[in-house]
């Protein structure tokens, strides 16, 4: 069993145990509890570094070795030798746990190879979680503070608005600036038209259909999608807010700031709708605030629209969830690239009904924008299944493709470069450490040494950026290879089990193997895009009877 010992001591503190004493005590523990010898022990020492962060050369080297499974247990004298920062400490413990490496702290009797030690680790995690939640709460408080000003915090303005930076004097008569939204008069007429048309037609689908049939297009010359129409109808940036609007937002769990400034003219802006990865947050994380601009949709009309939208959302089934239609969610129209939806024919005597796939754009535009033929669901699914079975017969070819993929993605040169960059980084950190030591000895020399430290620190930052890029590249390649491997396994397993699978299981396998299916009704061709492979075209053969117009 390989044992790692980590020791740290700041040179700027006179107290505490020396590096040598820490190491000796850790060695004694290893000899007694793990039956180790000197040959089994790897020592990592950082002297002159604070525990405030983990940016220390030997610590970073140790974590790299942990990732590469060079030791099984990490021993340190005290918990704060790893880090004084709770979040950093907890992250380190979690990382070691992921590598199946036990952690021992002698002074606190913290040993993750024992039940009590693991319990202590979970307690540390609780503190880390508390810190994260405190930070999140602080961010939300800051967001609420900004929201009370009604300013626009950036991004693409909603349809009908343009952003403008304005200046103002604060309470201390200092000039400040903020960005506000200004309505564009002509575009606001279109917004009012959308609300009226929705109340007339009763659904987003019908509004979108109307816009398409009458050739309404976005600034990018595209047809309005259901998502864009929905965003317009849901956005309180257009409403003349009142108490009822605020109550509606609060009923959804949305926090509303500046309620004391509500009048019947000003609109409402929503903040914190998405996280930093553009993923939509829950309503209870949203923040609404009274805006600087006037709304154009009356509160009564806006609320009537919201109630209708809420009612419709409960009635509309989610797309791609049919268990009968194996290709729902992945089949597309080859002519216009729109999704193809499932439609059902008349019920048979046995209670079942034939299903077809039809182009979404064709349906909405009533064949005006696309006229691709419908396709019998059973027939096209049969074509796709046969293609998968055909691939499975040539198992050797698939394995050869996998090996070829691995060779193409060979990153030996990148690995060498990564090691070289990390070594340079560790060397620079040691040089910075030595320069810091010199600064502590002479205040006069500091004005000459500090610029050197800053220069080397910049070099470290540049290296860290390059290291991060290479590591991200390697991760993507590994995931790509793993996905290829998974697809091949699923192809082989599907072929072996296909006769015993129910529709739900077949759909699962097909949708982990096939990325997209394209239907060309004119040429009667089926394009099948298997994950990691190019699209292959198969001739379609109809085995069923029934309308496919």
Q: May I ask the CATH class of domain 3-137?
A: alpha beta
* d(C-alpha 425, C-alpha 467), whole Å: 9
The per-residue pLDDT for 475 is 67
Q: Which fold has domain 161-315?
A: Hect, E3 ligase catalytic domain fold (3.90.1750)
Parallel, antiparallel or unpaired: strands 73-76 and 102-105: parallel
Do 440 and 11 meet the contact criterion of CB atoms below 8 Å apart? yes
What is the per-residue pLDDT across 345-358, written as a single tens digit (0 to 9) for each?
A: 888 888 888 999 99
Query: Shortest CA distance to 538 belongs to which of 490, 322, 530?
Result: 530
Alpha-carbon dihedral sign for residues 510, 513, 518, 519 = negative
- For residue 454, give the nearest of 442, 436, 441 by alpha carbon: 436
The CA distances from residue 545 to 348, 355, 519, in Å, are: 13, 12, 18
Please state the length of the chain.
Answer: 549
Nearest to 66 by CA among 31, 40, 21, 101: 101
What residue segments make up the domains of the chain, in order of their start?
Answer: 3-137, 161-315, 317-549
- Average confidence (pLDDT) per 10 residues, the chain, 549 residues: 88 56 89 88 84 79 92 88 72 86 82 67 59 61 65 82 82 76 93 96 91 89 90 96 93 85 83 69 86 92 95 66 81 92 88 90 87 94 92 80 62 69 83 71 66 80 84 68 72 89 89 91 89 68 55
User: Which residue in 50, 1, 48, 45 sits closest to 20, CA to CA?
Assistant: 45
DSSP codes of every residue in 290-318: EEEEEPSB-HHHHHHHHHHHHHHHHHSPP
Closest CA to 153 of 303, 274, 247, 4: 274
CA 528 – CA 536 distance, rounded (Å): 5
pLDDT, tens digit, 9 for 90 and up, residues 426-468: 888 888 777 766 765 665 666 677 778 778 878 888 888 888 8
pLDDT at 5: 95
Query: Phi and psi for 275 in degrees, rounded to 5?
Result: -85, -175
């Amino acid at each position: 069993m390989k044992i790692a010992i980590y020791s740290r001591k700041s040179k700027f503190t006179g107290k505490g145990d020396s590096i040598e004493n820490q190491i000796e005590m850790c060695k004694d523990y290893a000899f007694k509890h793990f039956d180790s010898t000197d040959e089994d022990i790897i020592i990592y020492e950082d002297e002159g570094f604070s525990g405030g962060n983990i940016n220390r050369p030997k610590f970073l080297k140790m974590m790299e070795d942990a990732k590469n499974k060079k030791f099984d247990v990490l021993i340190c004298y005290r918990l704060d030798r790893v880090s004084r920062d709770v979040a950093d400490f907890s992250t380190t413990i979690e990382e070691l746990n992921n590598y199946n490496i036990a952690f021992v702290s002698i002074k606190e009797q913290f040993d993750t190879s024992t039940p009590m030690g693991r319990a202590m680790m979970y307690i540390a995690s609780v503190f880390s979680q508390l810190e994260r939640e405190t930070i999140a709460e602080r961010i939300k408080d800051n967001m609420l503070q900004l929201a009370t000003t009604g300013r626009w915090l950036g991004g693409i303005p909603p349809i009908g608005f343009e952003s403008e930076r304005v200046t103002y004097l604060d309470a201390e008569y200092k000039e400040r600036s903020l960005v506000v939204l200004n309505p564009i008069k002509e575009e606001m007429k279109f917004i009012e038209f959308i609300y009226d048309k929705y109340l007339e037609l009763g659904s987003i689908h019908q509004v979108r259909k109307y816009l398409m049939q009458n050739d309404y297009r976005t600034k990018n010359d595209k047809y309005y999608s259901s998502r864009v129409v929905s965003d317009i109808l849901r956005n309180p940036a257009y409403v003349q807010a009142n108490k009822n609007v605020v109550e509606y937002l609060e009923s959804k769990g949305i926090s509303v700031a500046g309620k004391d400034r509500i009048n019947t003219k000003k609109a409402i802006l929503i903040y914190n709708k998405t996280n930093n990865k553009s993923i939509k947050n829950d309503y209870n994380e949203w923040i609404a605030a009274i805006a600087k601009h006037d709304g154009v949709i009356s509160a009564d009309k806006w609320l009537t629209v919201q109630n209708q939208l809420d009612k419709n959302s409960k009635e509309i089934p989610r797309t791609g969830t049919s268990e009968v239609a194996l290709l729902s969610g992945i089949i597309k129209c080859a002519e216009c690239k729109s999704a193809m939806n499932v439609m059902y024919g008349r019920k048979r005597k046995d209670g079942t009904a034939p299903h077809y796939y039809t182009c979404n754009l064709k349906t909405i535009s009533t064949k005006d924008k696309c006229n691709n033929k419908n396709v019998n669901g059973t027939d096209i699914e049969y074509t796709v299944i046969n293609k998968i079975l055909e691939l499975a017969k040539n198992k050797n070819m698939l394995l050869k493709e996998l090996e070829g993929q691995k060779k193409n993605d060979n990153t030996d040169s990148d690995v060498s470069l990564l090691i070289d960059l990390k070594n340079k980084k560790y060397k620079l950190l040691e040089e910075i450490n030595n320069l810091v030591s010199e600064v502590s000895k002479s205040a006069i020399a500091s004005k000459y040494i500090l610029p050197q430290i800053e220069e080397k620190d910049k070099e470290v930052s540049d290296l860290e950026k390059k290291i991060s890029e290479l590591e991200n590249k390697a991760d993507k390649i590994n995931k790509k290879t793993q996905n290829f491997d998974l697809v091949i396994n699923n192809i082989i397993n599907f072929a072996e089990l296909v006769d015993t699978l129910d529709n739900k299981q077949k759909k699962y396998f097909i949708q982990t193997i096939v990325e997209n299916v394209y239907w060309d009704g004119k040429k009667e061709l089926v394009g099948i895009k298997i994950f990691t492979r190019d699209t292959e075209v198969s001739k379609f053969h109809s085995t069923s009877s029934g309308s496919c117009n």
